[in-house]
Amino acid sequence: MALSMTAYARCDQDTQWGSLVWELRSVNHRYLEITVRLPEDLRALEPQVRELLGRQLGRGKVDCILRFQMRENLAEFALDDAFVSRLISAGKKLEFLAHEAGASIGSLRVIDMLRWPGALRGAGLDTETLGAESLRLLERTVGEMLDTRRREGTHLAGTMKQRLDAVEDIVQAVRGWLPEVIHRYRDRLAARLADLRQELDASRLEQEIVLFAQRIDVDEELDRLTAHIVEARRVLDQGGQIGRRLDFLMQEFNREANTLGSKAADVRLTNAAVDLKVLIEQMREQVQNIE
């Protein structure tokens, strides 16, 4: 099953300490790029959050946000004495080094210390248990995002298969036109010779027809397009992380369409090459969102 890289999920849960809300947003990206934003009390969860997301997701730019609203009866803060002591010591050392270097900096103010991340912590907050509940809620949120990715991926795969059907119709139509194009060229060449009142040399005429047929021979291009159609359908049915493979196939499709256009000797062949390029570009845009 194809997976889209574009998705959104949100899950919330009430705990004895307050409410947790996870939000996940994902858009297309060449690789997996994860941005994590956590409340200060739960910042230690970041490695586990990244590991969990890395196991579940293959590609995409993912924004992962956790919000925690503490209950009012727990909203009092306690001073982390050990942390603040280290902060004061570091401030004094900085003042000393600045003085030795002939620089002048202001003293560390109390309000500055209180604003420093980690100086204050929620009183009575069991961060270990709260962290475990947060991770369980994250697993549920990731599951919902994957469901969204699957639904969107199924839609993208269906749209691409429709485009592949249209490409196949064009390939079959071009195969049917080629004998008629050669026959019409033969008639035009014979009429031109007749207008010039030149004697019609049958062998010379056949030689010109053979050369013309060789110049417009696109059997190889049509065969390769057919092979690419079969492979693209197989990859779509296979599912998983197929975006890069499909992107490569789109480049191959485009190469054959360009060659077909360069060999076009009939307005229908030219139009067919243009229609192919339009369909291929539409598929290429869709592939950018497939994991």
Per-residue pLDDT tens over the stretch 1-35: 789 999 999 999 998 888 999 999 999 998 999 99
pLDDT of res. 119: 46
Q: What would the pLDDT profile of 99-150 be if each residue is shown by its tens digit?
A: 666 655 555 555 554 455 554 455 556 788 999 999 999 999 999 999 999 9
Element (H, E) at 153: helix 127-195
Task: Name the 3-class secondary structure at 256.
Answer: helix
Q: Is the pLDDT of residue 233 over 70?
A: yes
pLDDT of res. 222: 86
Which tokens sit at 255?
Answer: 């190469």
Residue 166, classified by CB atoms within 10 Å of its CB into exposed (0-12), middle (13-18) or buried (19+), is middle
Range with the largest mean pLDDT of 22-36, 212-226, 255-269? 22-36
Region 67-81: what's the mean pLDDT? 65
How many CA within 13 A on the CB side of residue 180? 9
Which residues, in sequence order, are bridge partners of residue 60?
32
Question: pTM, whole model, 2 decimals?
Answer: 0.70
Which tokens sit at 199?
Answer: 């004697």
Strand 18-27's sheet: what is its strand order?
7-14, 18-27, 60-70, 32-37
Contacts of 154 (CB under 8 A, 6+ apart): 1, 2
Average pLDDT, the chain: 81
Q: What would the pLDDT profile of 40-53 be if each residue is shown by its tens digit?
A: 889 999 999 999 99
